[in-house]
Amino acid sequence: MRQPQVRYTSGGLSLSAENRETTITPYKGGSRITSDDGAGCGPHARYADTSGTVALAGMLRELVHETTGTGAIDDSTWTGALSLSGKFVFGKDDVRWMGMYGNLGRYVGLNFANDAVLDGSGDLDGIDGWAGRCLPPLLDERWRSTFSVAMQDYDNDVDLTGGLAAKSSWSWSANVFYSPLRS
């Protein structure tokens, strides 16, 4: 899902604020809970020249969960994440890479891991993790290929999640294309 966002950009620096949403694992597991409360913002800085690009991004988020009635829950916690990515250029080829750490939740792998888990007291415990990705270079004018490796790993505490929450994921994809005509 794409979140509505307000962004200010000047040169290689961007600042943004976006629509909030928190995905939560219930205490001892169960169906995902979604909360539209909270706030989020983050800066993004980028440097580029002929040899490639490097970008550093940060995010600060308030995760919030409120319910009413018997056993009502009203808790919030602040979490953050960092990302470092880039592209190294070698002639016509390039290698693209990215590494992330922190409360990644819905921002990586189609919400593979939730933002937080509820503990036995109804308090939110942020779920941190890391993720990375790399795309190595192409072959030549007629032959080109892509090879992608992606991985992610999260600190889903079995005592809180009940053991059914996803812990890690690794994936790879590869393809080769041949073009009989020169580009």
pLDDT in tens, 39-73: 677 778 888 888 899 999 999 988 989 888 888 88
Instruction: Kindly give, in sequence order, each residue whose CB lies less than 8 Å from that of residue 134, ignoring residues fewer than 6 positions away.
Output: 95, 96, 97, 98, 148, 149
Q: Are 168 and 151 in contact (CB under 8 A)?
A: yes
Q: How confident is the model at residue 117 (pLDDT cuts 50, 70, 90)?
A: very high
Which range, 8-22, 53-67, 107-121, 130-144, has the best average confidence (pLDDT)?
53-67
- Asked whether residue 62 is domain-assigned, the answer is yes
Span of 56-60, 116-120, 144-148 with lowest mean pLDDT = 144-148
The answer, yes or no, to whether residue 18 has pLDDT greater than 90, is no
183 part of a folded domain? no
User: Is 74 part of any domain?
Assistant: yes
Instruction: State how far the Cα of 149 lies from the Cα of 121, in Å rounded to an integer.
Output: 39
* Token pair for 160: 């809180």
- Residues of the domain holding 38: 5-178
Q: Is residue 159 part of a domain?
A: yes
The sign of the torsion formed by the CA atoms of 74, 104, 24, 1 equals positive
160 in a structural domain: yes
Q: Are 115 and 38 in contact (CB under 8 A)?
A: no
- What pTM does this model have? 0.80
Asked if residue 111 is part of any domain, the answer here is yes
Residue 47 · residue 56 · CB < 8 Å = no
What pLDDT, on a 0 to 100 scale, did the predictor assign at position 137?
64
Based on the structure, what is the number of domains in the chain?
Answer: 1
Could you tell me if residue 63 is inside a domain? yes
The strand ranges marked E within the chain are: 5-10, 13-18, 22-25, 33-35, 38-49, 52-66, 74-90, 93-102, 116-118, 124-126, 129-135, 143-154, 168-178
Residue of 30, 33, 22 whose CA lies nearest to 164: 30
57 in any annotated domain: yes
